[in-house]
Structure formats: structure tokens, C-alpha cells
Amino acid sequence: MGGLRVAHYLNQFFGGVGGEDLADAPPQARPGAVGPGTLLQQCLGEGATVVGTVICGDNRMAEQQAATLPAVLALLRDLRPDLVVAGPAFNAGRYGLACAAVCGAAVRELGVPAVTGLFPENPGREALDRSVIAAVVGATAAGMKADMEHVARLALKLARKEPLGPADVEGYLPTGRRVNEFSDRTGAERMVEMLVRKLRKEPYVSELVVPQFDRVRPAPPVADLASATLGIVTTSGVVRAGNPEGIESWRATKWARYPLAGLEALSPEAFTCVHGGYDNRYIRQDPHRAVPLDVLRRYLREGRVGRLHEVLYTTVGNVMPVERARRLGREVAQELRDASVQAVLFTAT
């Protein structure tokens, strides 16, 4: 044995420390392979050596991750690994979350490839970094031998910097990266074939799995708008005449902030619309159709709204990549927070 140095991460159960009663076990290292590590070593073969094993209780990692993960990482770093393997965790939820966290940290902090094994419904899946490969394994350790072979095969490929094929072919959970390829069958043939399989209740592989968006935790309401500060945000593409900030008509990369103080209304001379996803002439004729400043001014005079944060935050919400939308949203939210805005009117087309 020799070649690649492999560090293996296990929970207290597979690491032989104890059962659920020892799920608080702190991070600890053992030389060489432990428990399923012996099988891992067999599967890796001659070219790689399991140089050590880091074990940690699942509850310890789940409940005190901020303190525990660095300790695990330090023990892994001492092993000077070329590759980190965690688990496999099968369908064990806390173990899966721990394996995902350990692998993500190994890639980020140690700069080495990291592989785990998860059953597709393991909640650890949601905690996976895009850089981590999670081999698809069974729900329980009953298929440990075949599953470990699978984990080891993917781990060796990564360690040897061999390119991985598509997720469904190689048997790992999609990392979120999409690649265009030419298939041997047309899209129409694949659609009809998938329908036949679905009707016959035969297995089929959807070419795109809809992930869950972030759920937004509803913010508590304001007690009384008449004493609150209101902010206005829009993705309708209403911009100053001439679009001086150069906001793109789709896939926008930026947002703009316009002072509203002293403005009673949004005139079509001073404001226009550059959204490229719909027929925007009606907004250009009257920007209030997207940003109701006319109504808000009246409500402010009547005292129905306490104060206005006198800034319009605007961009174009036309097929903006989700990651970019998150970033722009965070930036605007920070401004609103800094201005002590208590409630927001958001207009999206």
C-alpha cells in the first residue's frame, strides 16, 4: 500500500465508539482504518492508503458544529490527506449532515477532494457544497460492500483528477452544474419514452429535478403603518430617463437608487422603463403603473403611512440568474435595514 493518503471520517457508531448514548463523543483520531474503513481500504486497492480515521459523535457535530467542525478539520489536517472520504451515511440524517459539513470544509480549507455516500433522501443532501461529490448509496448499511466500492471508485477518480461523467451515469447526487451534451435520441423521443415508463410505473430518470427554493420565513407584521417607515423596491425596470446607470434590459447585473424627496409623482419625462421581458410602453406612458408613488404621496399626506424612506430601489427582474438575484436582494435589504425601514412595498412585473 502507498500512494494517495486517504483520511476517513466516521460517526461514533461506525467508528466503534458507541451507540446513541455516545452521540456526544468529541472529535478523536485513530491511526489507520477503523470499522468500515477496512472495507474502504480493500476497495481503494494498492494505490491508496487509509492513513487515519477521525471520529465524532453525531449530536456533537449537529448541536455544536461551529466549535466541532474546526476540531475535526484540525485532526484531518494532521493526517496530511490527498483525499477525504466521509461515511457513507446511508439515510442517517445527522450523520449525513456531518459528512456534508466535513467534506465541504475539507475541500475549502484543505484543498483536497472529498467524497461521501448518501441515500438520495438523506437531509445531508441539502447541506452539500457544490464541490463535494456524494455517491448515491442505499438507505441502510445492508449494501455496505457495494456502496463502499462505489464510494471508493468515485473517490479515486477525483483524487486522480479524472473527469467525472454525468451524475446519473456515474451515480452521484447532482452538484447543481448543468452541461449541454448531444444524446443518441431526440428530445421528443425521450419525452414520449419517459411518459410510457411513467404510465407503466417503471423507473425513469427525470433530466431535471426541481430543487426546493429557499423558503422565506414570513416577517412579523408592523403594528401600525401610520407610524412606520415604508421603503419601495421594484424589479419592473422603471429607471431615470436615459437610463444613466445602464441597467440591462435583461439579466441585469445591478440595481439603482433614486432619491424621491421632493418628487410628487413619476413623470414620463423624468422616468422610463427598460425592462426587456414584456411590452413596456404602458409603463413608459405612466410609470405609476409599476411604482405607485402618486398613491403613496397621498397616503403620506393623509397620515395613513407614517414616513417614506425617500429612495426608489430599482432593477430589471427579467431572467436574472437566481444567484445574482440573491446578491442584489441582499444588498438592497442591507440598505433598507441601515435606513431603519420597517415595511416594504415591492412591485415585480
Partner 1 sequence: MGIPVAFCSAIPTIPLAAGVPRVIHGKAVPYLLGDPSLPGDREYALREALTARALATLTMEVTEPTVFTAGG
Partner 2 sequence: MELEIATYRVRDVEFGPATALRDGILSIDRPALIAHLLEDANLQAVDVEIARPGDSTRIIHILDSVEPRLKVSGGRDFPGLLAPPDLAGSGRTHRLDGVAVIGTANLSGAADSQGLKEAIIDMAGPGARYHPFGRTANVVLMLEPRAGLAATEAVAACRRACLRAAVFLARPTRALAPDRVDAFTLAPADPGLPRVAYVMPVMSEGEIHTTFFYGRSVQSLPHLVHPNEILDGALVSADYWIGCHRSPTYLYQNEPVIRELYRRHGRDFDFVGVLLCRCLITSQEEKWRQANQAAKVARMLDLHGAVITMSNGGHAYVDQMLLCQQLERAGVATVLGVDEYADADGADFPLVTYVPEATAIVSVGNQEEIVEWPAVERVLGGTAFLAGNAYEKGFQRRPDEPLTVALRQIYCSTTQLGWSTLRGRAY
Q: Considering only the stretches 48-56, 147-155, 287-295, 318-326, report the one whose residues sit in contact with partner 2 under the rule CB under 8 A.
A: 318-326
Residue 115 vs residues 126, 205, 342: alpha-carbon distances, Å: 15, 23, 45
Q: Cα–Cα–Cα angle for 201, 202, 205, nearest 5°?
A: 115
Q: Among residues 216, 231, 224, 220, which one has the least CA distance to residue 344? A: 231
Interacting partner of 219 out of partner 2, partner 1, none (Cβ under 5 to 8 A depending on kind): partner 1
Within 187-226, the residues that bind partner 1 by CB under 8 A are 213-225
Applying CB under 8 A, does 186 fall inside the site for partner 2? yes
Tell which one of 323, 330, 338, 348 touches partner 2 (CB under 8 A): 323
CA atoms of 169 and 100, how far apart (whole Å): 22
CB of 237 to partner 2, least distance (A): 9
- Listed ranges 21-29, 33-41, 73-81, 282-290: which one lies at the site for partner 1 (CB under 8 A): 282-290
Helix, coil or strand: residue 340: coil
The least CB distance from residue 223 to partner 1, in Å, is 7
Residue keyed to cell 489536517: 77
Distance in Å, CB of 247 to partner 1, minimum: 18
Quote the least distance from Cβ 301 to partner 1, whole Å: 13
Please check whether residue 240 is in contact with residue 284, taking contact to mean a CB–CB distance below 8 angstroms.
no
Q: How far apart are the first and last CA of the chain?
A: 63
Residues touching partner 1, count (CB under 8 A) = 50
303 contact, one of partner 1, partner 2, none, CB 5-8 Å limit per kind: none
Exposed / middle / buried, residue 289 (Cβ in 10 Å: 0-12, 13-18, 19+): middle
Q: By CB under 8 A, tell whether 216 contacts partner 2.
A: no
Under the binding rule (CB under 8 A), the answer on residue 300 touching partner 1 is no
What letters, b where the CB count within 10 A reaches 16 and e where it falls short, cover 209-240?
A: eeeeeeeeeeeeeeeebeeebbbbbbbbbbbb
**Interface with partner 1 (CB under 8 A):** 213-225, 228, 230-231, 233, 236, 278-283, 285-286, 288-292, 294-296, 298-299, 304-305, 333, 336-337, 341-349
**Interface with partner 2 (CB under 8 A):** 130, 164-168, 174-192, 194-196, 198-199, 204, 206-211, 213, 248-249, 274-281, 318-319, 321-323
